[in-house]
Amino acid sequence: MRLQDPPKEVSRPIRVGILANPASGRDIRRVISKASVFPTAEKCNMIQRLMGALTVCGVDEAWMMPDKGGIATVIKRFGQTPEGKRLLPVQFTDTDIMEIPEDTRLSVRAMIAAGIRAIIVLGGDGTHRLVAEECGEIPMATLSTGTNNSFPELREATLSGLAAGLVATERLNLDDVTRREKRLLVEVNGETRGMALVDACISADMFVASKAVWQVEQLRELYVTFASSEAIGLSSIASLVNPVGRDEDHGLGVLMDPDATQKVMAPIAPGLFAKLGIQRWDELQLGSSWAPTIDRGVIALDGEREIEFRAVDNVRLSMDRLGPRVIDVSKALGAAAKQGIMLSDSNE
């Protein structure tokens, strides 16, 4: 069963990328907090629900990243609806999987080369950041399957798949149903070293170590593009002193000091709170640029320690609104209803 063809001619084939991180929802924070494990079986179920929605929209093909965690194997074997009908064809990129972040980057590049019209991401903030670094103008639908997520949405996969399918088949005006996200850029000695979609946190740690940030004693600076009062993780620190919306044209910078008299109690992981000394906070304007207040340490991007720097390094951070184009599922489905896209006079 499919929707009627869109009112205008759309070039075929219509392809949509699905990037599912097999490792999301399984990091060290499950040991030190009460975070849930997100099993492979549920990710596979979500992907099949996505495919059902894409099929209804008339998408011709899905492109996915191969993996060693079992997702690709399940999708190849069970690519059917509960009624036994075959879901849309699935192609896998020829990425040589090494189980490192570069797998995601290479797979997204391959999907873009194949001509995808939209990409659906299943993962945490870190996975979405990697995809955002590569996807350019390709619209992204977000689904949370990680820990401490602020950027991706917790939403039924069927609806995200429907919104992505309507966008990919050009039934909806892209500018009406997508938003351009803010981002933070980190430059070291004149070279861009990383991007964050939610937060960049500077600690006095000397090494990247296990990447995930969960010990707060060494945190010194936090910069956020947005900070929801419903957030969990590092951005919750900012949200509890001065919330910032996604659509606002500024971010927030928070300076922390263990000896500060003003403290904030923040949920830095599921079931795990920390008390941090807050020295001050200030708005960050779009287009602004600044240097860290400490001369050596580690920069965490969206909750994962990524960049070590020393006193000899020239480090600059900046914020703009040139991040990924994200599909607003609520707006997309609302527009579909107003335009009568889901209505039909046919019995087919």
Mean pLDDT to the nearest integer, 155-178: 97
Whether 25 has a pLDDT exceeding 60, the answer reads no
| Chain segment 301-341, per-residue pLDDT in tens | 999 999 999 999 999 999 999 999 999 999 999 999 999 99
pLDDT digits (tens, 9 = 90+) for 107-144: 999 999 999 999 999 999 999 999 999 999 999 999 99
Class of domain 183-320: mainly beta
Say yes or no to pLDDT of 34 above 80.
Answer: no
- Domains of the chain, residue spans: 15-181+324-338, 183-320
How far apart are the C-alpha atoms of 180 and 55, rounded to whole Å?
A: 27
To the question of pTM greater than 0.75 for the whole model, the response is yes
Q: Among 23-32, 64-73, 314-323, which stretch is predicted with the lowest mean pLDDT?
A: 23-32
Cβ contact 45:93 at 8 Å: no
Phi-psi region of 209 (alpha: psi -120 to 50; beta: other; left: phi over 0): left
pLDDT reported for residue 188? 98
282-297, pLDDT tens digit by residue?
A: 999 999 999 999 999 9
**Model confidence at 274: pLDDT above 50:** yes
Are 326 and 151 within 8 A, CB to CB? no
How do strand 116-123 and strand 219-224 relate by DSSP bridges? Answer: unpaired
Q: Which of 166, 201, 111, 133 is nearest to 328 (CA)?
A: 166
Q: Provide, rounded to the nearest whole percent, the portion of the chain with pLDDT above 90.
A: 76
In terms of Cα–Cα distance, which of 196, 202, 206, 205 is closest to 226?
196
How many whole angstroms separate alpha carbon 223 and alpha carbon 282? Answer: 10
Please give the sequence-ordered ranges of beta strands (E in DSSP) within 66-115, or none if there are none: 90-92
Q: What is the largest CA-CA distance in the chain?
A: 71
Mean pLDDT, the chain, rounded, equals 91
Mean pLDDT of 60-70: 94
15-181+324-338, superfamily in CATH? Probable inorganic polyphosphate/atp-NAD kinase; domain 1 (3.40.50.10330)
CA atoms of 8 and 145, how far apart (whole Å): 35
Single out the residue of 113, 112, 132 nearest to residue 124, CA to CA.
Answer: 132
pLDDT at position 30: 46
What does the pLDDT read at residue 165?
98
Range with lowest mean pLDDT among 69-73, 158-162, 276-280: 69-73
One-letter amino acid for residue 112 of the chain: I
Tokens 């390709």, residue?
138
Long-range Cβ pairs for the range 175-180 (8 Å, 24+)? 176/331, 176/335, 177/327, 177/328, 177/331, 177/332, 177/335, 178/139, 178/325, 178/326, 178/327, 178/328, 179/246, 179/247, 179/325, 179/326, 179/328, 180/321, 180/322, 180/323, 180/324, 180/325, 180/326
CB of 85 closer than 8 Å to CB of 56: no
